């Protein structure tokens, strides 16, 4: 067999490297596009020419005009957005509207100014009859029955204790109302909690009493990690006993107040 000699082909192209099957071209370099300069909204002069509120049927115009008047004091586009959001929150806080939308467009018409804008609020008025359930208020109705038999073993026991001894039955109906506006039920940082309970005993049984108790708690964060807590309890109780012979005797009246 003979010997084969190979020689690399000379290529006059400056962009080519190597020769033959190993020849390749240098990749083209791509320059990244220059970033577009950011537009500062507070540098764009703008003013509000008109304000439209669509969806009104029962709400008076005077109430709306006093709310949207702040928009006409805007001096740039950023200020228009900020004031439009502020007006939207004011309309929402009225409690008369829902699904409030804000649209900003270029002012049009013969009275439009070169820097003028039109702001439109789309609202939906709430129905005149509105109902709902508030989960922060809870009602609890309880019934409790107790039978006790107190015996006197000592002859030296006072007559008052002997008179109240013997079998006793207590039937209690209790109603508890709780209003909780705290942010957390355990370790709250803000909000109030109020509980009012009424207890009526004597609808069957030998013990009769009326007890009313009010408990309240207030929490406020005075500094990060520091919470001020104020609580108090007021209790009124009127107690009596039905004897087995049908008579009724008042034993005592209690009034108690605790503050923490």
Model confidence pLDDT, tens digit, residues 29-50 = 656 666 666 667 677 889 999 9
Nearest to 218 by CA among 231, 199, 207, 227: 231
The pLDDT value given to residue 171: 84
Q: How many CB atoms lie within 10 A of CB 119?
A: 25
What confidence category does residue 254 fall into, taking pLDDT thresholds of 50, 70 and 90? low
Q: Among 15, 17, 79, 90, which Cα is nearest to 47's?
A: 79
Asked if pLDDT for residue 1 goes beyond 50, the answer is no
DSSP-assigned beta bridge partners for residue 191: 219
In the chain, the domains with their CATH numbers are 41-125 (3.10.20.310), 137-259 (no CATH)
pLDDT reading at 169 higher than 60? yes
Q: What is the mean pLDDT of the chain?
A: 77
Q: What CA–CA distance (Å, rounded) separates 56 from 44?
A: 32
Is 60 exceeded by the pLDDT of residue 25?
no
b/e 3-26 (16+ beta carbons within 10 angstroms → b): eeeeeeeeeeeeeeeeeeeeeeee
Q: Give residue 148's pLDDT band: very low, low, confident or very high (50, 70, 90).
A: confident
Whether residue 230 has pLDDT greater than 60: yes
Q: Residue 195: which pLDDT band, with cuts at 50, 70 and 90?
A: very high
Question: Do the Cβ atoms of 93 and 63 come closer than 8 Å?
Answer: no
pLDDT tens by residue, 102-128: 999 998 888 889 889 999 999 888 876
pLDDT tens-digit map of 71-92: 999 999 999 999 999 999 988 8
Q: With bands split at pLDDT 50, 70 and 90, how would you rate the model's confidence at 200?
A: confident
- Cα separation, 23 vs 2, in Å, equals 27
Contact 47, 71 (CB under 8 A): no
Instruction: Name every residue whose Cβ is closer than 8 Å to that of residue 248 and which is 6 or more positions away in sequence.
Output: 208, 240, 241, 242
Give the pLDDT of residue 240: 62
Say if residue 213's pLDDT is above 60: yes
Q: What is the pLDDT of residue 217?
A: 94
Number of alpha carbons in the 13 Å side-chain half-sphere of residue 92: 11
Helix axes 61-68, 77-93, angle to 10 degrees: 140
Predicted TM-score (pTM) of the model is 0.41
């Amino acid at each position: 067999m003979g010997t084969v000699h190979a020689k690399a082909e000379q290529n006059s192209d400056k962009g080519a490297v190597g020769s033959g099957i190993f020849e390749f071209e240098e990749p083209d370099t791509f320059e990244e596009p220059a970033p577009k300069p950011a537009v500062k909204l507070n540098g764009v002069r703008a003013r509000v020419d008109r304000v439209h509120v669509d969806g009104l049927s029962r709400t008076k115009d005077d109430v709306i005009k006093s709310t949207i008047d702040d928009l006409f004091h805007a001096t740039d586009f950023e200020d228009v957005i900020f004031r439009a959001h502020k007006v939207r929150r004011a309309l929402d806080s009225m409690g008369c509207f829902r699904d409030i939308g804000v649209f900003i467009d270029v002012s049009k018409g013969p009275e439009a100014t070169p820097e003028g804008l039109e702001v439109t609020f789309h609202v939906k008025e709430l129905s005149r009859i509105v109902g709902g359930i508030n989960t922060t208020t809870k009602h609890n109705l309880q019934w409790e029955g107790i039978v006790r038999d107190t015996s006197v073993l000592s002859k030296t026991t006072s007559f008052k204790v002997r008179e109240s001894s013997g079998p006793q039955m207590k039937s209690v109906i209790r109603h508890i109302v709780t209003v909780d506006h705290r942010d957390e039920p355990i370790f709250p940082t803000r909000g109030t909690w109020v509980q009012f309970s009424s207890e009526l005993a004597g609808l069957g049984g030998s013990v009769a009493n009326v007890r009313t108790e009010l408990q309240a708690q207030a929490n406020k964060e005075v500094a990060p990690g520091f919470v001020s807590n104020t609580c108090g309890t007021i209790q009124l109780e009127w107690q009596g006993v039905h004897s087995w012979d049908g008579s009724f005797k008042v034993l005592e009246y209690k009034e108690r107040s605790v503050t923490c």
